[in-house]
Amino acid sequence: MLDNTFANKIVALQLGEITIEDTMDTQAKRIAAEQLRIPAESIAFNFDARALALLRTADGDPANADAIEIALEKENAASVTSTAAQLASAQAGAQLFTADGTPTSDSCQEFPGAVSEIPPMSFADIEAAIANAARQRIEESARAIVDARERIEREHRAREAALNAAQVRVADACRVVEAVDEKHAAMARRVEMFVTDADERATLLGALDAVAMSAYTAAKGALANAESVRDEAIGEIKAARLADALELQLLEQDTERWQAAAPDVAAQMRRADDAEKFARRAMDAVQRGDVKAAERALDDARTNGLPEDHAATLAGVIASAKNAKALRDLHARAERVLTAAEQIGAVGKIAQVERDAARMGVANDKAIKRLIVAAYKRARAAKQARRAQAQPLAKHIEDEGLIAVVADGRIEGWKSTSNGHGAQWTLDSVILFNEKYAVWVTETPRVPVIRKDDPRKGRGS
């Protein structure tokens, strides 16, 4: 076993009766205090750890306990010497720099690749850091208001549900009390009706009153308890409303305080929020198919500083929706001209739809192309039929000495009224095709219509 001196030191150290310095030898203390200038507790801690480890692992009786203690002291001194060497090296490295942190000439010669000094922050950098911190403060306060509102709403719904349940229990308890009264009255009437003996009737009525009173007392107690719970729920709701209003007011005042402290940051955040609102409004308009409203909302979002990448994405969505809407409108127009292909002037309307389809780049769309082809076929057939009907009428007008000009559903009769000042023609009559009744109707111009070019030049127009 270890001798009493060393063992007593270890036990006293564990019990806190002596300090760790008391276990060190004089040489270790001197080196620690004078040469290294480091706390002796750190050196003593290493000594204590090794001594305790040796004490815990000691199994049996060592041959020489004093030798073990001497070996531990030597090992501790060696550790101290190693630590001193490391500190000396660190101090030597520290001397390579001047007091303001700049490298000396020797250090530059020894370490030519040394890292240069980090440049200090500028006013702009500091302003950006302050703005970022202010933005975080404002966002946190605003988020606290949102969280508080959501929590208050959840708690309000829970209290309302509890109040509804309490009111249901009060109503049930009221019905129980009324049922006891009704049952007591009904049974009393039956006793008086069927029991003829006075004594027996009095006995039954007394027993009935006692039973009814007991049931009535229990029902009234249940009703009082239910009303108490209901009143308590009402009181909680009233108190919670006041507390919630005060909490929200304090949170809003906190937000206003941060916004007032950083008005520029608050204004930027408000503009960013407005930009997001307008962006969401634009998406809603796109989903509704209102492309114009979506474009206006996008312009407002850009005005309020919507990031360009977001704006570009939203603009692409709006452009796609606009193209889709234009295609739907064009398809609807093609369907309408097909439906009205037999009307006068339908060929021109169909041609306009065809030109619009080519301008949009959807002239080869199968659905639109099929509608246009079918509309042309039907419109040209109807036009040829009307022209065939107009030929006999035009010939009759020419037989009367007039010049007949035939158009789709219209025949004009012109009369030459040339005089000494030059040739001219006056409109004598017009024959129009009535689509409703499918008949030709002759009309006379209400005012004179005169032209100086030959009407026959427009026959094929």
Q: What is the pLDDT of residues 7-44, one digit of tens each?
A: 555 555 555 556 555 555 555 455 445 544 444 444 44
Say which residue the tokens 């012109």 belong to.
Answer: 414
Whether residues 278 and 211 fall in one domain = no
Is the Cβ–Cβ distance between 399 and 384 less than 8 Å? no
* Residue 254 belongs to a domain: yes
Helix (H, G, I), strand (E, B) or coil at 52: helix
Amino acid at 182: E
In this structure, the number of other CB atoms found within 10 A of the CB of residue 22 comes to 11
CA 185 to chain CA centroid, Å, is 65
Whether residues 246 and 279 fall in one domain = no
Distance (Å, whole) CA 182 – CA 432: 91
pLDDT at 1: 44
| 332-391 per-position pLDDT tens digit | 999 999 999 889 989 999 999 999 989 888 888 888 899 999 999 999 999 999 999 999
* Residue 102 belongs to a domain: no
Whether residues 42 and 157 fall in one domain = no
User: In the numeric block, which tokens belong to residue 452?
Assistant: 């100086």
CB within 8 Å of 225: residues ≥ 6 apart: 173
Q: Where are the beta strands (DSSP E) in 183-261?
A: none
Q: Considering only CA atoms, give the Rg of the chain.
A: 53
Whether residues 82 and 139 fall in one domain = no
pLDDT at 373: 92
Whether residues 138 and 247 fall in one domain = yes
User: Is the confidence at residue 67, as pLDDT, over 60?
Assistant: no
pLDDT at 451: 87
pLDDT at 245: 94
Is the Cβ–Cβ distance between 80 and 32 less than 8 Å? yes
User: In the numeric block, which tokens belong to residue 26?
Assistant: 């004089």
Nearest to 219 by CA among 163, 174, 160: 174
Q: Please give the residue range of the domain that contains residue 307.
A: 268-323
* Residue 114 belongs to a domain: no
Residue 118 burial class via C-beta count within 10 angstroms: exposed 0-12, middle 13-18, buried 19 and up = exposed
Nearest to 431 by CA among 409, 403, 460: 409
User: Is the confidence at residue 258, as pLDDT, over 70?
Assistant: yes
Say which residue the tokens 């474009």 belong to.
Answer: 295
* Residue 108 belongs to a domain: no
Whether residues 257 and 279 fall in one domain = no
Question: What's the pLDDT band for 71 if we cut at 50, 70, 90?
Answer: low
* Residue 10 belongs to a domain: yes
- Residue length of the chain: 461
Distance (Å, whole) CA 434 – CA 443: 12
Is the Cβ–Cβ distance between 2 and 58 less than 8 Å? yes
| 76-127 per-position pLDDT tens digit | 556 555 555 554 554 444 444 444 445 554 444 444 444 456 667 888 899 8
Strands 410-416 and 425-434, sheet pairing: antiparallel
Is 269 or 66 the better-scoring residue by pLDDT?
269
Count of domains forming the chain = 4
